[in-house]
Each structure stands twice: as C-alpha cells, then as structure tokens.
Chain A
C-alpha cells in the first residue's frame, strides 16, 4: 500500500508582525531617535515620546533546548515576552518599562549570558558551523569563536573601540562568515589529495573541471579508472573542487592554515562598502583554543584602539594612516603574498607619488 503523504503548505516567510512587541506595532515606521544609555542597552523613542528599551546579549549561538528555554524564561520573568535575534546571533529583549532593564541585565548575566555588543564594542563574531556540521570544513569556526570571545569578552561588554568592530570566521575559503573589520578564515596551502578509486563513482567530472577558477583540473585515466588530475603548478589551493568532488580532499591537518583579513565594511557610512584585505597568514589551525590566531587578532585590535580616531572603522583608519604604517604598528610581516595578482589587481597598486614619511 502506498504511503499517504501530507502535502506541504507552502506558506513561505512568516509574518513578523504577529510577534512584534505591542509598542513596536503601535509605532511601526514612527520612531524619532534612539539613545545608548549603557553598553548592551538601546532606548528608542517614538514621535509621541513613548520609549522602548532593548537589552542585547551574546550567547553560544548553537543553542541546546535547555538554553533556549532559559532565554525564554528570562524573557517571561524579566522582560515582556518579546525577543528578536540580530544578524550576529545576539538575542534582544524589548521592554516597555525602563524599570525592567536592570533586573533583566542581572538575570542574563547571572545565567552566564553576556550583555553588550552595541555601538563601539567588539561585536559577536559571526561564524559558520565547522566540524559540528559542515561537509567541507578546514577548521571549527564555532570553536575558534568560543576561544576568541573568551578573551574578548570585556571588549564585547565595553565601549573601548573607536567604532564598532565586526569580526567573522570561516571554515573554508568560500567564507560563509562574510566580510569583516577582522576576518579569520581558512587558507589551504597544498593542492587536494585525490582518491582515484572513488572519483568516477562520486564526482560529476565535467562540472568539477568547470568549477576550477584557474583551469588546473583535467580528466585523466589513473590506474585504468576514469579520474581527474590537478596541475599542481597552476593550482591555487582554493578548495573549490572539494565540495562537488569529496575524493579531492583539500583539508589537511598540517597544511590547512588560518589567514587574517581586515577592513571589510558593509556599511555605506562615510566611504562606500569595502572588501577585506589579507594581512596575516600561515597561522596554525590549532584546536582546541587556537591561541596563535587570537594573539594576532588582539594585536590588530590594540593598534586600532590606540591609534584610530572616533568613528573610524578599521578600513577608515588604515586608509588614513596607510598600509606601511598598519604593518609597522601591528608588527605583522609584509610579504609578496600581500600583493594581489588576481583579475583587476592593478587597481590595488599605488599609481601615484603619495608616500608617507
């Protein structure tokens, strides 16, 4: 007998309105301004003078149902039962009464959550899944983030930076974590190792060939089996062939490294949005706490904090002081690998007599 299937209701994206705090529903599109009374707290004022307070807290992002319920309990007991999540996976509680703010902060901190992440703080690191779930990860971004946030927790809680610092991590060079003021990303340093016994069964070979950005992959007969081979001189070790063809293993315990990029900025404020630029590489992929990566990040943060002016994001600061001074102030080595040789690279070279002495 054929199984009876329930047909899906293709309802798509649910209406957010039904979950809005009543004050937000009332003043939808009618807010006048906001204030930042303290780190982690926002006060938005409507045109009629009514206010809503928001308390923002950092979490472990990958929540177990116990933690999810804990967050809900706090929202019911100390908040108004209305929450949202930011793009960086912080939870926000909206309350209509100012008197609820302090007890709500205390309840969150007492339960191990971290109130902060607003304005000129180091925000929660946006990250990808890593070894917990991804099929192609070179590292465990979730673990890197946990280890780093342990050391940056005071920067999350405080307003010590010239402007906000958005950090990201990614487990492969596809970079799902995205652009950031500081990005910690996997960088492979050796071509894939191919298991020729599996290629013809697992991989659609023409699409793998097509996937290579530098045309380094070609079909080949290896041990009388149809397979693929890589021109290792051409290969840029990007790992793009690995997702469509898992027998082309790109991850390596030794040669998969971390690289650090700075100056990615999505905002249009002041300058146009910018991409992040490579500043450090060859950093060991060193679980469980990745101390070498954290050390480089802290070094960059210190230089930025000490030298940037108010409201300068990482990219604004470097644009003002120039790259030679960036490498000087951070003590990071400048190498031939920092000079772009990808398409459009000449636009990134200094075609002027502008030099700082």
Chain B
C-alpha cells in the first residue's frame, strides 16, 4: 500500500462552495482517522473517483458477495482499476434496514458508526433511495464481521436483487397530525412477514412496500412501490370554524378563496356568506390540499383506514407506471385487519411469482395480462374506484354480462345488509 496521497484537482474543485461536501468527509477519513486501513481505503477511493472525473466513466463491477445464510443485502463492488487503487479494490455496500420511520437516538447512531469504522470505510448514507442505511465500502471478508456485530444488537440486512426490498414509512403518527394509520406497525408487519423473501432472492424482480399516512404520500409510494399503503378516512373531515375565522383574519378572504376553495379538485368547498367553510364530504377525494393550507382548522375524520395501490415503478422496461387502486378502503385496527393486509400482500406476491416473467415488475405483469386477470388471480372483486373511466373501445367479448351484472347487484345488496 502506498502512503502517497493521490492528487485530486477536480475533486478539490468540487469540494469548494458553501454546501457541505462529501469530498471533505472522505479526506477527513484519509487524513485524520486513527486506523491506517481506513486512511488507505479513503486515499485510494479518492484516487479512483478522481480518475472517474477525469475520464467520465465508472469503474465498479458487480459480483456475488453475501453473508452466511443470506443471498441478498450486499451490493458487491470490485474495482476495475484495483491494481492502481488496491486499498479500495473491494468496496461492497451493506444495505441495512432502518428502524421504521427512520428514527434514531444519537446513542444508536454512534454505536453503528463505531461498528462501521471497525470493519468498513467509515462512509455511510441515511438512507439510499430504497430506504436502506447504506454502509458504503467494506472488503468481502469484513462484510461478515460487520454484519455479525450489528445483527447482535438488532439490525438486519435489507433486500437487493429480485426479492422483497426494504420498506419505507413516513414520519407518521409519531409526529404528524395528518396521519391516518399506524405507519410503523404496517411497515413492520408487512416487512417482517416476508423476511425470508428479503434475504433470499427468488422472485421475478424487486418488490417494494411503502407506507404513507395520508394522500400527501411523502414516501412517494404510488409511483415508487409495487405495494403502496396510504392512510385515509371515510367519514367527514373535521372543520374548526373558529380556526377558519382566525385564518380569515390573518390571511384574508381572497387568500382563502384563491388558495383553498378554488384549488379543491372536486369543487367540494365553499365559503358561506357568514364566513363558514362548507365541505361536501361525499365528493371530497381526500387529496389533502386544504388540510395542508389550513392545518389548524382542518383535520382528517375519525373513521380511519388505508387505501392500497399496486404496481407502481420507474422506467425499465415498458415505461413509468403509477400504482392502481386495488383496495379503496380497509380498516386497520384489529389483529384480523392486519392479517387481511398480510394475506393480500401474500396473494399478490404469490400470483406475481407464479406469473411474472423474469425481470418483470408486478405492475408490468398487470399491464401485460390486464387488471381483471390480476384481480381474479388474487381474489379481489372489481370496483369502479379502480378506474379513471370505463373502457372506450368496443372490441371486447361480453358473453357472461348477465352473470357479472348479477354479481354486482348481489354484492351491493350484501353491503347494504351489512351496513344496516
């Protein structure tokens, strides 16, 4: 190992400026860390990165690395220019599942930091785009040591490859008045039911769960997850007319009309002549806009639950897909409610594992086979909440129209009986 520092003129340039710099951090590891191994890794990492900046190319290659008993959770990285930068030749990332909601004490962060500098590069990100703590840069041998150490105090690897991936949940009920569900419980109930599918990649491709407590969808779950759980409510939203009067006083009538009433997507709001905010709750779609503008005056109702959307994903391979409503509303209060949620997730994953092509996301499979076939596969009845509009093309066979219509009336009768 050479003690000589690699010259990094381009990175030195990037390091300038007022925003905190990750280059300065890597240099600190190179220059100030007491462990010579860490110094050497940081030096060669900077050397390789500078080489990338000069040539505008990446030099990491994948491979196969895992810890004992798992087939997933580590992103292997071997350097193509390891002869020049030997200390960072093996630079694997460990994906570690964060606590639900991304909450930490400073104590647990320090403990994770100490374990990491003992075995790894000392570089860590909270969090990667899938939601993992990314411990960036360990040799093949040290991945096992690091994992053993943090696994002893309660941390486990996340997913990588064709498997159930690490989940994400928003700040939620712990600190948000707009929360409609117990996000942490949903997150942990689902993820920890599929631990085997997280650690042993055996699915067509990745499968992600994300949980947001309301339609603001801070976890971007509709577009970024295969199985999106979004908190909502079905009774009337709560309106504090005194607080409305307060907003009228401070913000003014026009502000309320232009920014609240006029922005309601379904024209469900109006301001009465005596300055009360009137809500047509039957036509409110729980979009959250007015609650965002008037958090003191407006709150979700009491009859809370979740909506579930399936099939969201980014580009590869057929283009972007948003998730589709599969369950418009379900309660999540009792043990049985949570069991039903897990069952739905299992049905979905089982059907997709059986019918998805290699490297085909759940949403792509639905696109290929049609929503109705998917619904039949997982045992869910059709619902007009699943569509923007009915079909516009007449090219379809409708042999059993009468039976299907009868099914609908039967279901409706059952529902009204249950409600009565």
Q: Which of B28, B69, B99 contacts A5 (CB 8 A)?
A: B69
- The reply to whether the CB of A173 lies closer than 8 angstroms to some CB of chain B is yes
Please determine whether B103 and A16 come into contact, CB atoms closer than 8 angstroms.
yes
In the assembled complex, B110 has its CB within 8 A of some CB on chain A: yes
A65 and B109: CB pair below 8 A?
no
Q: How many A-B residue pairs have CB under 8 A?
A: 355
The distance in angstroms between the C-alpha atoms of A130 and B67, with both chains bound, is 25
Known: A94-B175, A240-B316. A135 touches B26 (CB 8 A): no
Known contacts A13-B187, A287-B53: does B77 contact A135 (CB below 8 Å)?
yes
Across-interface contacts of A129 in B (CB, < 8 A): 128, 134, 136
B167 touches A13 (CB 8 A): yes
| Distance between Cα atoms of A137 and B52 in the complex (Å) | 10
Q: How far is the CA of A31 from the CA of B155 in the complex (A)?
A: 30
Interface positions, chain B 196-225, Cβ under 8 Å from A, are 196, 198-199, 215-224
A334 within 8 A of B: no
> From residue 283 to 320 of chain B, which have CB atoms closer than 8 A to chain A?
285-289, 292-293, 295-296, 299, 314-320
Of A97-105, A216-224, A269-277, A324-332, the segment with at least 4 beta carbons within 8 Å of chain B is A269-277
A266 close to B295 (CB less than 8 A): no
Q: Are B175 and A54 neighbours in the complex by a CB distance under 8 Å?
A: yes
- Give A7's nearest chain B residue, CB to CB: B69
Contact A29 B126 (CB under 8 A): no
Enumerate chain B residues within 8 angstroms of A174, measured Cβ to Cβ: 314-316
- A177: B residues at CB distance < 8 A: 129
A325-346 residues with Cβ-Cβ distance < 8 A to B are: 342-344
Most chain B CB inside 10 Å of its own CB: which residue of A7, A71, A84, A269: A269
Contact A131 B52 (CB under 8 A): yes
Contact A269 B216 (CB under 8 A): yes
Scoring B residues 173 to 206 as 1 if CB is less than 8 Å from chain A, else 0, what string do you get?
Answer: 1111101001010011001100110110000000
Measured between beta carbons, the chain A residues less than 8 angstroms from B84 are none
Spot the interface stretch: A139-147, A225-233, A299-307, A349-357: A139-147
B64 at the interface (CB under 8 A from A): no
Report the separation of the CA atoms of residues A95 and B103 in the bound assembly, to the nearest whole angstrom.
14
A81 within 8 A of B: yes
Question: Once the chains bind, are B109 and A68 in contact (CB under 8 Å)?
Answer: yes
* Stretch of B55-63, B343-351, B378-386, B397-405 lying at the A interface: B55-63
Is B127's beta carbon under 8 Å from chain A?
A: yes
Q: How far is the CA of A54 from the CA of B179 in the complex (A)?
A: 17
Judge if A63 is at the interface, Cβ distance under 8 Å: yes
Q: Is A52 an interface residue (CB 8 A)?
A: yes
Nearest CB of chain A from residue B359's CB, rounded to whole Å: 6
In the complex, which of the residues B29, B191, B288 contacts A13, with contact meaning CB atoms closer than 8 Å? B191
Please provide the chain A residues from 13 to 30 with a CB less than 8 Å away from any CB of chain B in the complex.
13-20, 24-25, 28-29
Q: Given the complex of chains A and B, what is the CA–CA distance between A29 and B122 in angstroms?
A: 37
Asked if A58 lies at the interface with its beta carbon under 8 angstroms from chain B, I say yes
User: A9 interface residue, CB < 8 Å from B?
Assistant: yes
* A188 and B340 alpha carbons, distance in the complex (Å): 45
Check B18 for interface membership: any CB of A closer than 8 A.
Answer: yes
Q: Provided the pairs A13-B188, A288-B14, A289-B14 are in contact, do residues A310 and B259 lie with their beta carbons within 8 angstroms?
A: yes
Taking the nearest CB of chain A, how far is it from the CB of B76, in angstroms?
9
**Among candidates B70, B285, B288, B296, residue contacting A8 with C-beta atoms closer than 8 Å:** B70
In the complex, which residues of chain A have a beta carbon less than 8 angstroms from the beta carbon of B25? 60, 62-64, 66-67
Query: What DSSP secondary structure best describes chain A's contact surface?
Result: loop
Contact at B224–A84, with CB atoms within 8 Å?
no
Q: A285–B53 contact, CB under 8 A?
A: no
The stretch of B90-98, B272-280, B411-419 that contacts the partner chain? B90-98
Cα–Cα, bound, A319→B286 (Å): 21
Given A66-B32, A68-B113, A147-B17 in contact, is the A135-B58 Cβ separation under 8 Å?
Answer: yes
Is A323 interfacial (CB 8 A cutoff)?
Answer: no
Q: Which of A219-277 contact B (CB under 8 A)?
A: 238, 240, 246, 251, 253, 256, 266-271, 273, 275
CB atoms of B287 and A268 under 8 A apart:
yes
Given known contacts A31-B176, A69-B110, A82-B103, A12 and B29 CB-to-CB distance under 8 angstroms: no
Asked if A149 is at the interface of the complex by the 8 Å CB criterion, the answer is yes
**Cross-chain contact B103 with A135 (CB below 8 angstroms):** no
Give, as a whole number of angstroms, the nearest-CB distance from A88 to chain B: 10
CB <8 Å contact, B20 and A311: no
Determine the chain B residues whose CB is within 8 A of the CB of A267 once the complex forms. 215-217, 288
Chain B minimum-CB-distance residue to A19? B103
Chain A proximity of B137: nearest CB distance (Å)? 8
Chain A residue nearest to B263 (CB atoms) is A270
Q: Which of the four size classes fits the interface of chain A?
A: 35 or more
The answer to whether residues A28 and B109 also contact, given A12-B198, A270-B287 and a CB cut-off of 8 A, is no
Q: How far is the CA of A304 from the CA of B266 in the complex (A)?
A: 25
The answer to whether A11 has its CB under 8 Å from any CB of chain B is: yes
Within 8 A of A (CB), among B2-32: 10-11, 13-14, 16-26, 28-29, 32
Residues of the A chain whose Cβ atoms lie less than 8 Å from the Cβ of B61: 135, 246
CB-nearest residue of chain B relative to A136?
B58
In the assembled complex, the Cα of A136 lies from the Cα of B59 at a distance in Å of 9
The CA of A29 and the CA of B185, in the complex, are separated in Å by 12
Q: Which residues of B have CB within 8 Å of A68? A: 109-110, 113, 124
Expressed in whole angstroms, the Cα–Cα distance for A15 and B174 within the complex equals 13
Residues of B within 8 A of A15 (CB): 99-100, 184, 188
User: Cβ of B195: which chain A residues have Cβ within 8 Å of it?
Assistant: 10, 12
Of B29, B33, B136, which contacts A133 at CB under 8 A?
A: B136
> Contact: B184 with A17, CB < 8 Å?
yes
- Interchain CA distance A85-B222 in the complex, whole Å: 21
Closest 7 CB pairs of A and B: A150-B17, A64-B25, A268-B215, A131-B52, A253-B56, A16-B99, A149-B19
New A-B pairs, 18, CB < 8 Å, besides A146-B19, A150-B16: A8-B69, A13-B99, A14-B97, A15-B188, A28-B174, A65-B122, A67-B20, A68-B110, A89-B126, A113-B20, A146-B21, A147-B14, A173-B315, A238-B315, A253-B55, A275-B320, A288-B10, A288-B11
Instruction: List 21 A–B pairs whose Cβ atoms lie within 8 Å, in order of A's numbering.
Output: A7-B68, A13-B97, A14-B155, A16-B101, A17-B184, A19-B105, A20-B174, A60-B22, A62-B123, A63-B22, A63-B25, A63-B123, A65-B124, A84-B104, A91-B126, A112-B20, A211-B317, A238-B315, A253-B57, A270-B289, A273-B222
**Chain A residues close to B by CB (< 8 Å):** 5-20, 24-25, 28-29, 31-35, 44, 52, 54, 58-69, 71-72, 75-76, 81-87, 89, 91, 94, 112-114, 126, 128-140, 142-143, 146-147, 149-151, 153, 173-179, 207, 210-211, 213, 238, 240, 246, 251, 253, 256, 266-271, 273, 275, 285, 287-289, 309-311, 342-344
What is the interface of chain B, defined by CB distance below 8 A to chain A? 10-11, 13-14, 16-26, 28-29, 32-33, 45, 49, 52-53, 55-62, 67-70, 75, 77, 91, 93, 97-110, 113, 116-117, 122-129, 134, 136-137, 147-148, 151-152, 154-157, 166-168, 170-171, 173-177, 179, 182, 184, 187-188, 191-192, 195-196, 198-199, 215-224, 255, 258-259, 263, 265, 285-289, 292-293, 295-296, 299, 314-320, 322, 357-359
